[in-house]
Amino acid sequence: MKRNLLLVIMLLCTNLQSFGQMNGKIQDLIEIKNRPLLVVLPDSRDGKTATELDRVKTTIKAKVESLWTLNHDITYINASELDALKKKKKKDISTHAVLRFLTWEVTHIKETHNTTWISSTLNIGLLERAVGSNYTYIHNYDQTYPSDGEIVSSLLQVQNVINKSIRDKDEMSYPKESKANADKLKNVTLLIDNALMKNRISDEVIKEQYGLPFKVVDKQEIEDAIINQKPGYAYIYIFPASITKPELMIQAVLDTEKGEVLAHSFPPLLRVGFVYGRRIGAANLKDYSKYVQK
């Protein structure tokens, strides 16, 4: 029993070190970067209302065109065009990389009842595997319909993960990035969403626990800073550790200009009670600046 419990803890800790879900090797990331890119725009089959579908589709296309530098040859297709490629031989479709926004219906089976929820992700992979829904890297969103700012943030994050993993020949991790970028955190103002704080933490507590420049604002101000890539600011990006664990949240402090990770706070593991990192608490604020020499 103790051995099984230890194995669970080790697997969970290992998963939390990394960004999103990596299902491939560094060589796969190199191949993705070297290929032309197919961007699969979401359609009504992905379970969106017409309004949300139009917004997400418009934002993804516009922001890929303005922010995506990983691949220079980009083509936009729909889901049915991707499905049609399943009929082709693997050697005939080992030509492109695929970037796709998806919604997933996930069911957690328990002895007494089943729990079903909808998760959304941004996926990137090799075409010959993507036709079978096998993606090299998956970025998890906190909500079914990500905001425009969250789409911008995820596009920057995915590119950072791929570029830095290739550069370092190792999968990018939160602790490594937080340590490397600790000095950058001192030179930006952290925008804190007042709706995400536990019991509206006072400015005095924030100063005591975080100890660096900050500003408590509403979500729209953060959205504007992300979309416009406003320099000199950072924000807290909260998202699920995986689509099968939507209640277990990771908090990443990202700069608004490039989407780089400046700090992080992992959810407490095996703590009694329901403390999963969905809200910003004093302990999270302390985590953000733990690598900074004050």
Q: Domain 19-168 adopts which CATH fold?
A: Double Stranded RNA Binding Domain (3.30.160)
**How far is Cα of residue 79 from the mean position of the Cα atoms in its chain?**
22
Q: How far apart are CA 152 and CA 12, in angstroms?
A: 28
Determine the Cα angle at 286 with ends 284 and 289, to 5°: 110
Query: CA 67 to CA 214: how far, in whole Å?
Result: 27
218 CB-near residues (< 8 Å, 6+ apart):
193, 194, 195
Q: Is 44 helix (H, G, I), strand (E, B) or coil?
A: helix
**One-letter amino acid of 217:** V
Candidates 206, 222, 182; CA nearest to 284 is 206
Q: Which helix (H) or strand (E) holds 191?
A: strand 189-193
Please say whether the beta carbons of 213 and 189 come within 8 A. yes
Distance, CA of 227 to CA of 155 (rounded, Å): 11
Residue given tokens 């889901």 in the structure block:
79
Mention every residue, 6+ apart, whose C-beta is less than 8 A from residue 14: none
The two most distant CA atoms of the chain are separated, in Å, by 63
Residue pLDDT tens, the chain, 294 long: 333 333 333 334 444 455 568 888 999 999 999 999 999 988 765 555 678 778 888 999 999 999 999 999 999 999 999 999 999 999 999 999 999 998 766 555 555 656 666 678 999 999 999 999 999 999 999 877 899 999 999 999 999 999 999 999 999 988 999 999 999 999 999 999 999 998 889 999 999 999 999 999 999 999 999 999 999 999 999 998 776 666 688 999 999 999 999 999 987 653 444 456 889 999 999 999 999 986
Task: State residue 44's pLDDT score.
Answer: 61
3-class SS letters over 215-255: EEECHHHHHHHHHCCCCCEEEEEEEEEECCEEEEEEEEEEE
Give residue 3's pLDDT.
Answer: 38
Q: Where in the chain is the domain with CATH 3.30.160?
A: 19-168
Instruction: Please check whether residue 156 is in contact with residue 226, taking contact to mean a CB–CB distance below 8 angstroms.
Output: no
Length of the chain: 294
pLDDT score of 213: 97
pLDDT score of 9: 36
187: tokens are 């030179």
> What pLDDT is attached to residue 36?
98
CB-CB contact of 47 with 116 (8 Å): no
The Cα 165–Cα 249 span in angstroms is 23
Helix (H) or strand (E) holding 10: helix 2-17
| Radius of gyration for the chain, computed over Cα atoms and rounded to the nearest angstrom | 19
Token pair belonging to 36? 């032309």
Q: Which residues make Cβ contacts (< 8 Å) with residue 45, sequence separation at least 6?
A: 79
Are 291 and 263 within 8 A, CB to CB? Answer: yes
User: 77, 39 in Cβ contact below 8 A?
Assistant: yes
Q: What is the pLDDT of residue 8?
A: 36
